[in-house]
C-alpha cells in the first residue's frame, strides 16, 4: 500500500569528507507494517560518467534497495528512455509504460582537486515531480560508501524511515579445518564488501559488539588461555583490556550511551549479570541466582535489560530494570530461548529459539506477546539488528556444511538472503549508521 504525503528533508553528512547540497522533498511513503510487502518498482539508471564508475555506483544502489525487500529495481533492458542528461526532466510516460513508480538518475565527475562529485535525482514518475536531489563530494576510494549513502537517502525519501546501508558488520571469521579452526575478528560493509581482519587469529575471539556512539567494539578473547574482555578502537587499532575477572566472562555488550558494558560472569558454577562503568571500571552486580544468567541486552532507552536464564529449568527470556529490580520472565512458548537482542526501535526483542531439534530466529514484544518466527533451520543463531530495526542478520550452519554463513532477513520473514564472506562467518554485530 502506498501513502502519499509531503515531507521536507534536511540531512547533513560528515565523516570521510562527505558533503552534499540541496535536499528537496519526499513524496512517497511505503506502509511496511504488514507481513507480505509488495516491492516498489523503481528504475535506477546508470549514472553518467567518463570511466564507468557511475554504473558501479548505481549498481550498488540498486543492490542495496533490492536486498531490503521493499524495492524491485527494473531490468535496464526494459528502459525506453536513455538518460543522457540527469538535469533534464524525464519523459515520465516512458517510465510509466514500464511500471516504474520511481526513477533515479545521476552523474559522477571528478573535480580539479581529485575529489569525486556524485549527484542524483529521485523522481516520482506518476506525479511528475522530483522527490529529492543531492550531491556529494568525497575521495574516489570512498565511492562505495557514497553509493550506500545515496541508497539510504532514497530509502528514507520513499519509506519515511531511516535507511541502514551506510553501516558495517563486525563478525567472527572462521577458516581452516574443523579440528583446528582459526577464528579472527573481521569487519565489512553491510553488503559483504571491504572485508578486513581486525585480529591475527592467534587467539580465539567471541561475541564482538559495536559501541552505539563510537567506532569501537568489545569482544572476548582467549589470550594465554585467559578469557578476557577487550575494547578495540577501529580507526586506530588501539586495544585495551576491560578488566581481569575471576572465572569466565560471557557476552559483553555496550549500554545505549556507550559509557558502560554489561556482561555475564561465571563464578562457582553459576553465572550472573554485571555492569561495568568504562570510566571508573566499577562493577555492579544485577542478578544473584544459582543459575546461568547471560546474554544481556539493553533497551534503547537504557531503562530495561533483557537476558536469558535457566533459573526455571530451561533457557528462557527475562526482562529487568536497569538496576536489576523487577526481574520477570517473558517467554513461555515450547522449547528454549537464547541470545535476546533489543531492537533499536524499542518495539521488539529478537531471539534464538530451539525446539523440535531445530533452531529458529524470531521476534516478540518486550512484554512477551506477539511472538513470531521469521526463519527456521538446522542451526540458526545470534540475531543482530540493522540500525533502523527493520532487518536482522544472523548466522546459520546447514546440515553437512563445514561451517556457518551469515544471512539477513527482514521483519516480514519473506526476504531471507545469504551475505557472502571470504570464509565461514559467525556471530555478527551490526554497527550504528556511520557518521
DSSP letters for 174-235: EES-GGG-EEEEEEEETTS-S-EESS-SSS-EEEEEE-SSSSEEEEEEEETTEEEEEEEETT
Instruction: State the Cα–Cα distance between residues 113 and 26, nearest whole angstrom.
Output: 33
Q: Decide if 362 contacts 370 (C-beta within 8 A).
A: no
pLDDT digits (tens, 9 = 90+) for 352-410: 999 999 999 999 999 999 999 999 999 999 999 999 999 999 999 998 888 999 999 99
pLDDT exceeds cutoff 50 at 211 = yes
| pLDDT of the residue at 38 | 83
Instruction: For the domain covering 40-159, report its CATH number.
Output: 3.40.50.10070
What is the 8-class DSSP label of residue 331?
Answer: -
C-alpha–C-alpha distance, residues 406 and 59, integer Å: 22
pTM: 0.89
How many Å apart are CA 275 and CA 404, to the nearest integer? Answer: 31
The model's confidence at residue 248, banded by pLDDT at 50, 70 and 90, is low
Whether residue 26 has pLDDT greater than 70: no
Contacts of the segment 214-218: beta carbons below 8 A, 24+ positions apart? 214/258, 215/431, 216/258, 217/170, 217/185, 217/429, 218/242, 218/252, 218/253, 218/254, 218/261
Give the residue extent of every domain in the chain: 40-159, 167-433
Confidence of residue 4 (pLDDT cuts 50, 70, 90): very low
Assign domain 167-433 to a CATH class. mainly beta
| % of the chain surpassing 90 pLDDT | 73
pLDDT tens for each residue of 101-154 = 999 999 999 999 999 999 999 999 999 999 999 999 999 999 999 999 999 999
Amino acid at each position: 500500500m502506498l501513502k502519499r504525503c509531503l515531507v521536507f528533508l534536511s540531512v547533513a553528512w560528515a565523516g570521510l569528507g562527505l558533503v552534499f547540497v540541496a535536499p528537496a522533498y519526499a513524496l512517497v511513503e511505503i506502509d511496511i507494517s504488514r507481513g507480505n510487502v509488495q516491492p516498489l518498482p523503481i528504475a535506477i539508471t546508470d549514472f553518467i560518467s567518463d570511466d564507468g564508475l557511475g554504473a558501479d555506483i548505481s549498481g550498488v544502489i540498486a543492490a542495496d534497495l533490492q536486498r531490503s525487500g521493499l524495492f524491485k529495481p527494473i531490468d535496464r533492458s526494459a528502459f525506453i528512455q536513455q538518460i543522457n542528461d540527469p538535469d533534464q526532466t524525464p519523459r515520465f510516460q516512458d517510465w510509466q509504460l514500464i511500471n516504474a513508480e520511481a526513477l533515479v538518475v545521476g552523474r559522477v565527475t571528478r573535480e580539479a582537486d581529485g575529489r569525486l562529485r556524485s549527484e542524483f535525482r529521485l523522481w516520482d514518475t506518476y506525479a511528475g515531480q522530483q522527490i529529492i536531489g543531492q550531491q556529494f563530494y568525497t575521495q574516489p576510494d570512498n565511492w562505495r560508501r557514497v553509493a550506500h549513502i545515496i541508497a539510504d537517502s532514497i530509502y528514507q525519501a520513499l519509506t519515511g524511515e531511516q535507511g541502514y546501508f551506510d553501516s558495517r558488520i563486525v563478525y567472527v571469521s572462521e577458516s581452516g579445518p574443523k579440528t583446528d579452526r582459526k577464528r579472527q575478528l573481521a569487519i565489512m560493509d553491510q553488503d559483504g564488501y571491504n572485508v578486513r581482519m581486525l585480529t591475527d587469529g592467534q587467539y580465539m575471539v567471541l561475541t564482538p559488539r559495536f559501541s552505539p556512539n563510537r567506532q569501537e567494539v568489545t569482544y572476548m578473547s582467549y589470550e594465554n588461555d585467559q578469557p578476557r574482555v577487550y575494547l578495540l578502537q577501529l580507526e586506530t587499532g588501539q586495544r585495551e583490556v576491560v578488566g581481569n575477572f575471576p572465572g569466565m566472562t560471557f557476552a559483553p555488550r555496550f549500554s545505549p550511551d556507550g559509557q558502560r558494558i554489561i556482561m555475564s560472569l561465571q563464578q562457582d558454577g553459576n553465572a550472573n549479570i554485571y555492569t561495568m562503568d568504562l570510566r571508573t571500571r566499577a562493577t555492579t552486580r544485577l542478578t544473584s541466582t544459582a543459575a546461568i544468567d547471560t546474554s544481556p541486552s539493553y533497551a534503547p532507552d537504557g531503562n530495561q535489560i533483557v537476558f536469558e536464564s535457566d533459573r526455571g529449568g530451561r533457557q528462557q527470556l527475562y526482562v529487568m530494570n536497569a538496576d536489576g529490580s523487577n526481574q520477570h520472565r517473558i517467554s513461555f512458548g515450547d522449547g528454549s530461548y537464547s541470545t535476546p537482542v533489543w531492537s533499536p526501535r524499542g518495539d521488539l526483542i529478537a531471539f534464538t529459539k530451539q525446539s523440535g531439534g531445530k533452531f529458529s530466529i524470531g521476534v516478540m514484544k518486550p512484554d512477551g506477546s506477539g511472538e513470531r518466527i521469521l526463519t527456521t533451520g538446522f542451526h540458526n543463531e545470534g540475531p543482530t539488528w540493522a540500525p533502523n530495526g527493520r532487518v536482522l542478520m544472523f548466522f546459520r550452519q546447514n546440515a553437512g556444511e563445514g561451517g556457518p554463513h551469515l544471512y539477513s532477513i527482514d521483519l516480514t520473514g519473506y526476504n531471507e538472503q545469504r551475505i557472502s564472506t571470504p570464509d565461514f562467518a559467525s556471530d555478527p554485530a551490526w554497527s550504528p549508521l556511520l557518521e
